[in-house]
């Protein structure tokens, strides 16, 4: 049986970049398809225990021009260290948008949990003092992307 594919994927160049609390966050583009909105982003920071923990909690809220928040579906992440700087390339798939949507507002934000635990050398669960991570002053600005 022959298989044919149809691509209704729209590549939207974003090229948004901002810095906060030692993190550089870049959003080069997003892809819009019937499967959803694929947001790609990069995070660069000086490698440290604190930054390695915090980078896990940078998330995005995506809202269309009618005020509908797109739900996050799934994501992927890859990182490497280059000259003491950690470089992460991430992607997140969000709900599909309606054809009439003209803009998306994207808000990066921190989602630091109320508590965290880790395992010590003897495999005992130990609570991490999360307070030291909460007041790092890491905030990001929303930005709007026009959909052609």
Q: Is residue 2 part of a domain?
A: no
Q: What is the pLDDT of residues 89-126, one digit of tens each?
A: 999 999 999 989 999 999 998 877 776 677 788 888 88
137: left (phi over 0), alpha (psi -120 to 50) or beta: left
DSSP state of 100: T
Number of domains in the chain: 1
Q: Is residue 60 part of a domain?
A: yes
Q: What is the pLDDT of residues 75-92, one digit of tens each?
A: 998 888 888 888 989 999
Q: Is residue 120 part of a domain?
A: yes
Q: Can you tell me whether residue 35 is helix, strand or coil?
A: coil
Domain span at residue 124 reads 10-146
Q: What is the pTM of this model?
A: 0.80
CATH code, domain carrying 108: 2.60.40
Q: Can you tell me whether residue 135 is helix, strand or coil?
A: coil
Task: Measure CA 102 to chain center.
Answer: 22
Q: Compute the average pLDDT of residues 125-131.
A: 74
């Amino acid at each position: 049986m022959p298989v044919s594919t149809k691509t209704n994927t729209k590549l939207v160049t974003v090229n948004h970049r901002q810095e906060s609390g030692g993190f550089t966050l870049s959003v080069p583009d997003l892809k819009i398809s019937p499967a959803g909105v694929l947001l790609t982003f990069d995070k660069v920071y000086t490698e440290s225990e604190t930054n390695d923990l915090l980078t896990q909690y940078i998330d995005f809220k995506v809202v269309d021009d009618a005020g509908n928040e797109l739900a996050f579906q799934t994501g992927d992440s890859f990182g490497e260290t280059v000259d003491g700087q950690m470089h992460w390339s991430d992607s997140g798939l969000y709900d599909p948008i309606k054809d009439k949507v003209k803009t998306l507002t994207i808000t990066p934000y921190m989602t630091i949990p109320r508590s965290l635990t880790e395992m010590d050398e003897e495999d005992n669960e130990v609570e991490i003092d999360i307070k030291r991570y909460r007041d790092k002053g890491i905030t990001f600005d929303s930005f709007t992307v026009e959909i052609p």
